[in-house]
Amino acid sequence: MTPTGHLDTEACYRAVKSRDRRFDGVFYTAVRTTGIYCRPSCPARTPASANVSFHPTAASAQSAGYRACKRCLPDATPGSPEWDVAADVAGRAMRLIADGLVDREGVGGLAERVGYTPRHLGRLLSQELGAAPLALARARRAQTARVLIETTDLPLTDVAFAAGFASVRQFNETVREVYDASPSQLRGRGRSRAVATARPSGAVTMRLAVRTPFAGRRLLDFLAFHVVPGVEVAEPGTYARTLDLPHGPGTVRLHLADLPAGGGTGFVVAEFWLHDLRDTAAASERVRRLLDADCDPTAVDAQLGADPLIGDLVRATPGLRVPGQVDGAETAVRTVIGQQVSVAGARTVAGRIVASHGRAVDSPVAGLTHLFPDAAALAGVDPASLPMPRARGRALVALATALADGSVVLDRGPDRGDVRRALLALPGIGPWTADYVAMRALGHPDVFLPTDLAIKRVLADLGGSVDSDPERWRPWRSYALMHLWNTLMPDTPALARPVNPGEQGELTCGP
């Protein structure tokens, strides 16, 4: 990107010439002579520079009249890491579009979430991303449809509605226009490389694209360390949880393993069981947030790995992710529950709240029995009835009330600074809480927690301190925190052992 936020043509062409996989999903190459667009690492012969143009999104290339390359499948890539780093209006809008908000609430709903008029938002997205909101949503639906067509046995009619199309006719026309093939032709082509199957009762298995390296085992360890009974289950190699989705409940089970560098894009297998197939796109996007799938680990590790204080930690665990969330409100509530108690204690209290106020659901995964209580349910709870000190109970109910009435919104749509100020205005919410929520719920890559006692202890063991200028870790301070916390994390098979009380200062939601 240039300083003005636009693509640097010369730099993009150099990346295409070198077939650099790190830029897959960051931009797309459109070839005028063939009418197709590709990912930068496409193995086809490099076109002449005079014959190419570069686009920040697949929707931009499609709006310019190009169809997707059948060889490199340019839409099957992680999203741009710039969306989380910059967190500007375009990035926030892209996150909501990927979640299916335009399909559910229209462009007006999207504009309201990011704080702009529909007309101004359309103008801004066209300028920044090369496509208007409807075109971006259309590209997302087309990508979801192609994945389902080529990798599942779902009937094509079910694929159409699972991908978010309003009609089968719209589905057929879009697929033909974007991929220059009918849905039936795509399905026939995909049989030789089938990577997933669909089973009865809304069960779909998909491969979710992530950039490599990917420290899947350590991500699993973190998630397993914080499991809430009834909502989450972790076993060696897998993590499963219930999902509260727009059209009904769901379940996901992830198969997490380390993915070494070298391939550019790797894949995490995700098994979904959905009450309504229309939630397919939303479920996959929320799980990708949990995986921090759009992270650029090469850039993060290059900067932090050169640091004299934490460089050895970074080189020992390449591709470490900042665990995200499938529901921002849930993350915030769990953060308050964990204030000033051990991680084991927080899990126990959260499990009791789930059993009392969560909605019971049927799940094919043993141990998953409830959805995490939504904000509206917790807003009506008497703080004195909660299994925690009275002051913390009042803080939790106040937070739930703010989430329920929209005073605080944690769907990655609002500006991060506005969200932080709204959180700090609530009773019982301090800087540690607000910043931890920003890191986990909003995907903020540059959060540092100077009051965290565990971080202070680890830094002291390394010969440093919180005053050792963490500014030099910008814009990846959240990843530096994860590497420090990672030194304290037990392995997944050891989770049955008692957990020692945490020393997190204001909170103990971290490891």
Q: Known catalytic residues?
A: 38, 452
CA–CA gap between residue 295 and residue 291 (Å, rounded): 9
Give the torsion sign (CA, 389, 410, 434, 84).
positive
CB–CB of 175/186 below 8 Å?
A: yes
Element housing 253 (H / E): strand 248-255
Closest to 424 measured CA to CA, from 435, 414, 412: 435
**Per 3-state DSSP, what percentage of the chain is helix, strand, and coil (rounded to 5)?**
50, 10, 40
CA–CA gap between residue 46 and residue 67 (Å, rounded): 17
Closest to 433 measured CA to CA, from 377, 422, 85: 422
Closest to 140 measured CA to CA, from 326, 39, 281: 281
The amino acid that residue 269 corresponds to is V
β-pairing, 52-55 with 198-199? unpaired
Closest to 17 measured CA to CA, from 7, 9, 6, 5: 9
Q: How far is CA 217 from the centre of its chain?
A: 17
- Written as six digits, the tokens of 359 are 């909605």
